[in-house]
């Protein structure tokens, strides 16, 4: 009996040793040299594999970093400057600091601002809806509200607001990877400079129709009147196809344009409330937390009227 045990043990050990030797030899033979820095760089990266850098995952980005001789064209939006500093240290290169960015939805066509002209009943996907037609409102540039951007976000940083029917970016969670920018078939989402204290001013509209047409389809559309363009002291605003655009790199957040806009298409976020001047019609300064409540109220107020009209 004990013989059997001993023979078995010897045989199995022999097989084990043999296999180990073979494995070692094969591993040596087919060894692929890999720059050890790739692993180091990869470890320094956030590991979100979001593709925000333009590469297929963090590993690919790390390989690209090691290959390049300078880091100017490479940036990890998720890790930001700290992370890129770490990468630069590993590689002995210089990190080029970039301003942190954030995704901004440039449409303010809420249910109140932009009356529906039809009822969409197809697959719940912005891509499908936009391949079918212009949208369920008079505005062919506006948000379709089916949440392709929400589905694209790996960071839970963008949500649909059921009341307004528009997506909202959670400032603290957004890492500016750009997935939502890619996902939006109406190219409504832009990566803008994250201003100090998350303050930002932007034209919340992409409507390129002529003023009258735009205004008719949406109350808060940019009508291309150029007033903001004229008032801007920093040349941050450009006019194109009946549409104003504020360059976030040039904008100094002076808020002059916000007051000037006749349709409230320019939105300021994150500022303390203004003192309301008595001689001017009150402009609702949209604060970060306020819009939900304010709009919630207004929509409730308006709804019964709408029903009566129907």
Contact set with another protein (CB under 8 A): 116-123, 125, 127-128, 131-136, 138, 140, 209, 310
Q: How far apart are CA 45 and CA 265, in angstroms?
A: 38
Residue 221 CB, nearest distance to another protein (Å)? 15
DSSP string, 14-67: HHHHHHHHHHHHHHHHT-----HHHHHHHHHS------TTSSSHHHHHHHHHHH
Smallest gap, in angstroms, from Cβ of residue 219 to another protein? 18
The residue among 27 and 307 lying less far from another protein, judged by its C-beta, is 307
The dihedral through the CA atoms of 297, 149, 222, 131 has a sign that is negative
Q: In the bound complex, what is the minimum distance in angstroms from residue 181's beta carbon to another protein?
A: 15
Q: What is the total residue count of the chain?
A: 310
Closest among 284, 252, 250 to 267, alpha carbons compared: 284
CA angle 180, 138, 241 (to 5 degrees): 70
In the complex with another protein, the residue whose CB is nearer, 43 or 117, is 117
- Decide whether 137 or 248 has the Cβ nearer to another protein: 137
Buried b (16+ CB within 10 A) or exposed e, 149-158: bbebbebebb
Min CB(76)–another protein separation in Å: 23
Supply the minimum distance, in Å, between the C-beta of residue 208 and another protein.
Answer: 11
d(CA 75, CA 55): 10
Nearer to another protein, 125 or 299 (CB): 125
Q: Which is nearer to another protein, 121 or 305 (CB)?
A: 121
SS3 (DSSP) at 114 = coil
Instruction: Output the six-digit token pair for 308.
Output: 């009566």
Which of 242/264 has CB closer to another protein? 242
CB 217 → another protein: shortest distance, Å? 10
Least Å distance, CB 303 to another protein, is 16
**Beta-strand pair 237-240/189-193:** unpaired
* Cβ proximity to another protein, 122 vs 262, nearer residue: 122
């Amino acid at each position: 009996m004990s013989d059997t045990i001993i023979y078995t043990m010897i045989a199995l050990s022999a097989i084990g040793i043999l296999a180990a030797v073979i494995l070692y030899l094969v591993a040596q033979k087919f060894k692929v040299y890999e720059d050890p820095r790739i692993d180091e760089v990869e470890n320094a990266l956030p590991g979100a594999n979001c593709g925000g850098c333009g590469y297929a995952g963090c590993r690919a980005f790390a390989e690209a970093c090691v290959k390049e001789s300078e880091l100017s064209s490479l940036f990890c939006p998720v890790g930001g400057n700290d992370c890129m500093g770490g990468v630069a240290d590993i590689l002995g290169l210089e990190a080029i600091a970039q301003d942190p960015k954030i995704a901004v939805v440039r449409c303010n066509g809420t249910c109140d601002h932009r009356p529906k002209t039809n009822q969409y009943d197809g697959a719940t996907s912005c891509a499908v809806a936009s391949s079918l037609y212009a949208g369920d409102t008079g505005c062919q540039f506006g948000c379709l509200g089916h949440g392709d951007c929400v589905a694209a976000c790996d960071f839970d940083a963008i949500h649909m607001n059921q009341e307004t029917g528009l997506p909202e970016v959670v400032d603290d969670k957004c890492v500016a990877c750009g997935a939502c920018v890619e996902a939006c078939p109406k190219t409504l989402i832009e990566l803008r400079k994250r201003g100090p204290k998350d303050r930002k001013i932007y034209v919340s509209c992409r409507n390129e129709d002529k003023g009258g047409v735009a205004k008719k389809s949406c109350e808060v559309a940019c009508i291309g009147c150029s007033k903001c363009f004229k008032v801007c002291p920093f040349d941050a605003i450009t006019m194109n196809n009946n549409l104003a655009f504020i360059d976030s790199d040039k904008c100094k957040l002076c808020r002059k344009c916000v007051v000037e806009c006749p349709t409230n298409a320019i939105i300021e976020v994150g500022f303390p409330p203004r003192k309301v001047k008595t001689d001017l019609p009150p402009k609702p300064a949209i604060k970060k937390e306020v819009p939900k409540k304010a709009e919630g109220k207004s929509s409730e107020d308006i709804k019964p009227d709408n029903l009566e009209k129907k």
